[in-house]
């Protein structure tokens, strides 16, 4: 007879002879047996060690509560105990017990063979039930897992922004339906394929590569005004981040795409309108300035001191408006990528000398001493003449504007290695440390008591930076409040 051990059996019987007989048979086969003579005693054992009873042999002829009550209690408590009833005749009560959840019934007048036929079947049933329980729990866990993935996928699909995830080799591993519609992606075309083959943008590819390499310059770029890339006829604001594992190693990158095509179109319309208005204002303002100058110079008759004073103020305001209009037009040129539209071999020394001469008058008006050191035999620089003029004019006019009466402005142009270096040093009011990183932002102006009366658009330095960047150069500023400011520009001669 093949009975595997490790089955815990509780025999509940008040007839000591039957109890002993059951116990003997079971123990002889290596089972662990406990006994109880009443329902209360049985319940006590079960409650004390719930996992310690696998099968219960339960008499249906117990005094007091009776075996049926115990079956009902255990069923309610969802105890996974297989109950085998014992009865004198296995009649009505046994059938009722089976309805209540008992597995089978053994007549108390059993022979050893009969006993084992029934008990072995019960043990087998118990093992199957236990196995089923394990499988059910495993399946439920798997379903929860699947449910979890399905939820995650549902969340990704509900995003109104596109989402693409790549592995560390920039191969696409995941994308949502918005990304599919933006870039016409399908699973077959995209998953496992390089992002560069699915989304045509060198800029985007460089963001992914920088994210995967954990390039520290990417995070500030993404934290600021997120870049907008062009893919086909779409303008997309992108945010790329590395995907890191538990050891903080980048194992891929994730990008969110926000479609700003319609917003960009509106922006362009607004900017075009601004350009058009600026353009239309430029000619009448210049002629107004000329006419005011003619009157101020006394060419239209003698002026009283009061009249001169008022006209002088009008002339300054008109100049301010002309600068603003020029700034707007220059800025639009740079935005449209036209800052290096006409590339030519430039003699920067000659351009700078002419600019300095043009500005000398306004420096003298403020009693500012302006010096100019230009190195001999500088190589020619290939760049855009209008752009380079804008760089010199803006930096020198700022130096004059933000330097009080009687100060100094030094302009230096020389060569360092393969670069041409341009430096403007002033002894002016200086720039507070907190502002120095922001002065190249468009429309950024420092608001202090001293700058309040100085007019400007806040566009000059962003124009300068735009032109320098377009020529693959670099610009930085050093400053100390109350002592002065130096702007350094480096322009590569060989590109």
**Interface with ligand ADP by CB under 6 A: which residues?**
394, 398-399, 402, 426, 428-431, 439, 444-446, 451, 456-462, 485
59/398 with CB nearer ligand ADP: 398
Which of these, 414, 396, 398, lies nearest to 349 by C-alpha position? Answer: 414
The first and second tokens of residue 83, run together, are 């109950």
Q: Are strands 55-59 and 8-12 parallel, antiparallel or unpaired?
A: parallel
Whole-number minimum distance, CB 410 to ligand ADP, in Å? 12
Structure tokens at 62: 């117990």
Q: Smallest gap, in angstroms, from Cβ of residue 367 to ligand ADP?
A: 17
Residue closer to ligand ADP, measured from CB, 39 or 368: 368
Q: How far is the CB of 475 from ligand ADP (least distance, A)?
A: 12
Structure tokens at 313: 């103020």
Q: What minimum distance in Å lies between the beta carbon of 451 and ligand ADP? A: 5
What is the distance between the alpha carbons of residues 180 and 407, in angstroms, rounded to a whole number? 62
* 195/399 with CB nearer ligand ADP: 399
Q: Which residues 6+ apart lie within 8 Å of 493 measured at CB?
A: 379, 381, 415, 418, 419, 420
Tokens read off for 355: 């600019």
Closest to ligand ADP by CB, 31 or 445: 445
Convert 262-300 into a string of H (helix), E (strand) and C (coil).
HHHHHHHHHHHHHHHHHHHHHHHHHHHHHHHHHHHCCCC
55 vs 439 by CB, closer to ligand ADP = 439
CB 452 to ligand ADP: min, Å: 11
- DSSP bridge pairs for 343: 384
Q: Give min distance, CB of 408 to ligand ADP, in A.
A: 12
Which three-class secondary structure string do you get for 188-227?
Answer: HHHCCCEHHHHCCCHHHHHHHHHHHCCCCCHHHHHHCCCC
Among residues 82 and 461, whose Cβ is nearest to ligand ADP? 461
Q: Which tokens go with 383?
A: 């760049």
Minimum CB–partner distance for residue 403 and ligand ADP (Å) = 7
Are 457 and 324 within 8 A, CB to CB? yes
First to last CA, the chain: 92
CB of 225 to ligand ADP, least distance (A): 17
CB-count exposure of residue 31 (10 Å: 0-12, 13-18, 19+): buried
CA distance 21 to 455: 111
DSSP conformational letter for 460:
H
The 484-492 sheet, strands edge to edge: 369-374, 408-416, 419-426, 484-492, 474-480
Q: Least distance from C-beta 290 to ligand ADP, angstroms?
A: 23
Nearer to ligand ADP, 23 or 445 (CB): 445
Nearer to ligand ADP, 383 or 428 (CB): 428
Which strands sit side by side in the sheet containing 228-231, from one edge to the other? Answer: 172-175, 162-167, 250-259, 234-244, 228-231
Residue whose CB is less far from ligand ADP, 36 or 399: 399
Q: How far is the CB of 426 from ligand ADP (least distance, A)?
A: 5
DSSP string, 229-254: EEETTEEEEEEEEEEE-TTS-EEEEE
Q: How far is the CB of 314 from ligand ADP (least distance, A)?
A: 20
- If the CB atoms of residues 85 and 457 are measured against ligand ADP, the closer one turns out to be 457
Instruction: Identify which of residues 176 and 427 has a Cβ nearer to ligand ADP in the complex.
Output: 427
Residue closer to ligand ADP, measured from CB, 8 or 410: 410
* Nearest distance from C-beta of residue 321 to ligand ADP, angstroms: 13
CA pair distance 427, 490, nearest whole angstrom: 21
Residue recorded with tokens 């920039």: 170
Rg for the chain, CA atoms, rounded: 45
| Cα 29 from Cα 115, distance rounded (Å) | 12
Q: Are 290 and 319 in contact (CB under 8 A)?
A: no
Taking a C-beta distance cutoff of 8 angstroms, is the pair 491, 471 a contact? Answer: yes
CB of 400 to ligand ADP, least distance (A): 9
**CB nearer ligand ADP, residue 176 or residue 398:** 398
């Amino acid at each position: 007879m093949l009975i595997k051990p490790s089955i815990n059996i509780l025999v509940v019987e008040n007839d000591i002879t039957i109890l002993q007989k059951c116990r003997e048979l079971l123990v002889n086969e290596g089972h662990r047996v406990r006994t109880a003579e009443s329902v209360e005693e049985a319940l006590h054992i079960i409650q004390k060690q719930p996992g310690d009873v696998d099968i219960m042999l339960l008499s249906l002829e117990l005094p007091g509560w009776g075996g049926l009550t115990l079956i009902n209690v255990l069923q309610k408590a969802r105890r996974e105990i297989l109950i085998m009833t014992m009865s004198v005749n296995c009649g009505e009560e046994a059938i009722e017990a089976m309805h209540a959840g008992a597995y089978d019934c053994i007549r108390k007048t059993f022979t050893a063979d009969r006993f084992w036929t029934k008990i072995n079947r019960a043990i087998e049933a118990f093992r199957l039930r236990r196995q089923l329980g394990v499988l059910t729990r495993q399946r439920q866990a798997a379903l929860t897992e699947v449910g979890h993935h399905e939820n995650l996928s549902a969340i990704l699909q509900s995003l109104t922004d596109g989402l693409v995830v790549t592995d560390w080799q920039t191969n696409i591993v995941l994308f949502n339906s918005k990304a599919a519609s933006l870039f016409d992606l399908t699973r077959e075309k995209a998953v496992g394929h390089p992002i560069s083959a699915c989304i045509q943008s060198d800029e985007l590819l460089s963001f992914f590569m920088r994210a995967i390499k954990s390039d520290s310059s990417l995070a500030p770029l993404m934290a600021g005004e997120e870049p907008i890339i062009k893919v086909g006829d779409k303008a997309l604001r992108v945010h790329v981040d590395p995907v890191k594992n538990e050891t903080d190693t980048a194992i891929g990158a994730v990008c969110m795409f926000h479609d700003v095509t319609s917003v960009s179109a509106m922006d362009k319309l607004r900017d075009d309108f601004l350009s058009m208005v600026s353009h239309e204002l430029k000619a009448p303002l210049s002629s107004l300035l000329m006419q005011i100058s003619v009157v101020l110079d006394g060419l239209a008759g003698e002026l009283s001191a009061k009249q001169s004073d008022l006209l002088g103020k009008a002339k300054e305001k008109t100049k301010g408006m002309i600068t603003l209009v020029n700034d707007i037009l220059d800025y639009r040129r740079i935005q449209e990528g036209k800052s290096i539209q006409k590339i030519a071999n430039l003699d920067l020394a000659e351009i700078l000398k002419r600019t300095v001469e043009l500005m000398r008058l306004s420096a003298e008006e403020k009693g500012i001493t302006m010096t100019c050191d230009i190195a001999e035999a500088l190589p020619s620089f290939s760049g855009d003449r209008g752009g380079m003029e804008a760089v010199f004019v803006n930096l020198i006019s700022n130096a004059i504007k933000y330097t009080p009466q009687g100060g100094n402005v030094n302009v230096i142009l020389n060569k360092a290695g393969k670069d041409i270096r341009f430096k403007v040093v002033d002894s002016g009011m200086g720039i507070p440390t907190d502002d120095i990183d922001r002065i190249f932002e468009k429309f950024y102006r420092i608001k202090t008591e001293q700058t309040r009366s100085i007019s400007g658009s806040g566009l000059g330095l962003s124009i300068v930076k735009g032109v320098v960047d377009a020529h693959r150069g670099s610009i930085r500023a050093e400053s100390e409040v109350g002592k002065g400011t130096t702007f350094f520009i480096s322009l590569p001669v060989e590109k």
